[in-house]
Structure 1
């Protein structure tokens, strides 16, 4: 089969041939119909310090996918040949305290598809049956494959009820955009989004965001003033920090009203200093750290949100054949895209 792999340290990936995978007793082989590019994949493509310290080569990259079950192991009982599936990318141990108390999303020993074992940038991928998610056949592949990252946004946006609330979303990368669509579908009253890119703020508008703020064009003071004006001096009920940018992190805490909540999803490049008394403690703010998705609670919520009318089509801005993956990564590194999907 054809696959996109990292064979040696340094920037780039290689489109090459690889033996077809074979399933173990509890595994299935999925013919990949679509697989999308994640920021984690870009770290590996660019070969930054995180990738250099984390990735063991050789490796087939990719962890966001959908496809058709074409082979099953002898002990598989959850899926059948021909079924249309997506997949959870975190392979949990099932034995640690977190896994045994309903917190498998923060398993202490999890492995990640496309990071710790061969992933989905290929014509076929072998997966444990336990990570598969049966997907409604009316969801097209370019949307079915993004359910995994969409789950991040569902967990971030819906950590608490947002019905009738005012939200600030700092960072309009794909997950921030997904969060805007989720919050709108879940009944948020007013959504404010900030970013450095007019292109991505335009996508946010397509998803129903009420107010967009370009933090590159205005000072932090002007942005804070605009949020106060929009909220009539009250502040927002909840901030979803999706960028990891230090200025955005402070903005998220400063913009939320007393007694509100802040969800943190973006990853800063280094330590961040906070005025804990004035930004968090005296305001009585609830803070949620979000990593991955709740397994499999979030997946069920995604299915329900799709039935409720969730529309994330504007987020998928570009598609390419798998062999043209270089174009997808160039777009991702430029910031002039939403979600990029590859078709093997």
Structure 2
């Protein structure tokens, strides 16, 4: 089978032929049809300090995917051959304190598909049957491939009640744009999104933002005035990992405001704890997706609103056949895009 592999501890990837993976008694084998590119994949391709400290090559990359089940293990009853599935990329132990308490998304022994075990940038991938989310036959394959980032956005955005609230989202990458669509669907009053890329801010406006703020030229304080806001933002969703964005968000939160933080910073940075205390702000770190409450929530939103589904679909701006993976990575790295999808189906093949 074809597989996109980090072959050694150095920059770059190789598309090579590998044997098909075997299936254990509780596993499913999935023929990958679509796979989404994530910032994690870019770090692994570049082989930066984080990648070198996290990954042991050789490794097949990729953790955002959708495909068809082609084989199930002898003990699997929940998934059938022929079903179409998306994959939860966090494989958990099932026996640590958090797993036993139903908080599997904070399992201390989590293994990441495409990070700590073989991933989905390949014709075939094997995951535990418990990690396969069965999709309706009618689901758009491209949408099925982005349930992982949609789950991150859903988990972050729905930390707080949003009906009638004024929401600021820092970072208009794919997850920030998806969070915009969720906040609009959930009934937020005003939604303001900040970024340094006008291209990505345009995607946020298309997904339902009321105002897009280029942080290189404009200030959130002025956005509040433009919208007639008098008391600051009620909810903040931090998707950028950029210290200046976090600082400006905190400066513009209402007293009693609530902030959910998903964006990972490159380095530690200070936060104005005096303002957090005197303004009684709540700051909550977010990781991954709740397994599997988040999956139920995003499936329901997509099934009950074509407007929401169209807004989610709008984040996908580029599609490439798997053979053109280098162009796909270059596009994703450019920042002048939304979500980039690679097509691993026969229809996506070149030549």
TM-score range, shorter chain: over 0.9
Query: Which of 275, 279, 296 pairs up with 1:300?
Result: 296
Instruction: Decide whether the 8 Å contact of 1:76 with 1:129 is kept in 2.
Output: yes
Instruction: Decide whether the 8 Å contact of 1:228 with 1:235 is kept in 2.
Output: no
Instruction: Decide whether the 8 Å contact of 2:172 with 2:193 is kept in 1.
Output: yes
Alignment of 1:19-58 (within 5 A): 19-58=19-58
Alignment of 1:163-312 (within 5 A): 163-218=163-218, 222-278=219-275, 280-309=276-305, 310-311=308-309, 312=312
Instruction: Decide whether the 8 Å contact of 2:160 with 2:235 is kept in 1.
Output: no
Residue 114 of structure 1 corresponds to 114
Q: 1:190-223: CA deviations, max 9, x gaps?
A: 11001000000111111111001101123xxx33
Q: 1:104-138: CA deviations, max 9, x gaps?
A: 10110010000011100001111110101011221
Judging changes above 3 Å, is the alpha-carbon distance between structure 1 residues 283 and 132 closer, same or farther for their aligned structure 2 residues?
A: same
SS of residue in 2 equivalent to 1:9: coil
Between 1:266-275 and 1:223-232, the stretch displaced more is 223-232
5+ residue gaps, structure 2, are 345-351
Instruction: Decide whether the 8 Å contact of 2:180 with 2:208 is kept in 1.
Output: yes
> What is the CA-CA distance between 1:228 and the residue it aligns to?
4.5
SS of residue in 1 equivalent to 2:66: strand
Does structure 1 residue 95 correspond to structure 2 residue 95? yes
Residue 348 of structure 2 corresponds to none
SS of residue in 2 equivalent to 1:138: coil
> What is the CA-CA distance between 1:231 and the residue it aligns to?
4.7
TM-score (norm 2): 0.95
Instruction: Decide whether the 8 Å contact of 2:211 with 2:223 is kept in 1.
Output: no
Aligned length: 340
Does structure 1 residue 134 correspond to structure 2 residue 130? no
Instruction: Decide whether the 8 Å contact of 1:241 with 1:263 is kept in 2.
Output: yes
> What is the CA-CA distance between 1:12 and the residue it aligns to?
1.5
Between 1:251-260 and 1:62-71, the stretch displaced more is 251-260
Distance in 1 between residues matched to 2:237 and 2:223, nearest whole Å:
17
Does structure 1 residue 125 correspond to structure 2 residue 125? yes
Distance in 2 between residues matched to 1:228 and 1:151, nearest whole Å:
32
SS of residue in 1 equivalent to 2:234: strand
Q: 1:227-266: CA deviations, max 9, x gaps?
A: 3442522111101110010100111211110011001011
Residue 149 of structure 2 corresponds to 149
Does structure 1 residue 324 correspond to structure 2 residue 324? yes
Distance in 2 between residues matched to 1:188 and 1:138, nearest whole Å:
29
SS of residue in 2 equivalent to 1:266: coil
Distance in 2 between residues matched to 1:259 and 1:73, nearest whole Å:
50
TM-score (norm 1): 0.97
Distance in 1 between residues matched to 2:211 and 2:151, nearest whole Å:
24
Q: 1:36-92: CA deviations, max 9, x gaps?
A: 001111110111100011110100000011111101111111101101111100001
> What is the CA-CA distance between 1:9 and the residue it aligns to?
1.9
Distance in 1 between residues matched to 2:226 and 2:244, nearest whole Å:
20
SS of residue in 1 equivalent to 2:119: coil
SS of residue in 2 equivalent to 1:179: helix
5+ residue gaps, structure 1, are none
Residue 80 of structure 2 corresponds to 80
Distance in 2 between residues matched to 1:275 and 1:81, nearest whole Å:
53
RMSD: 1.0
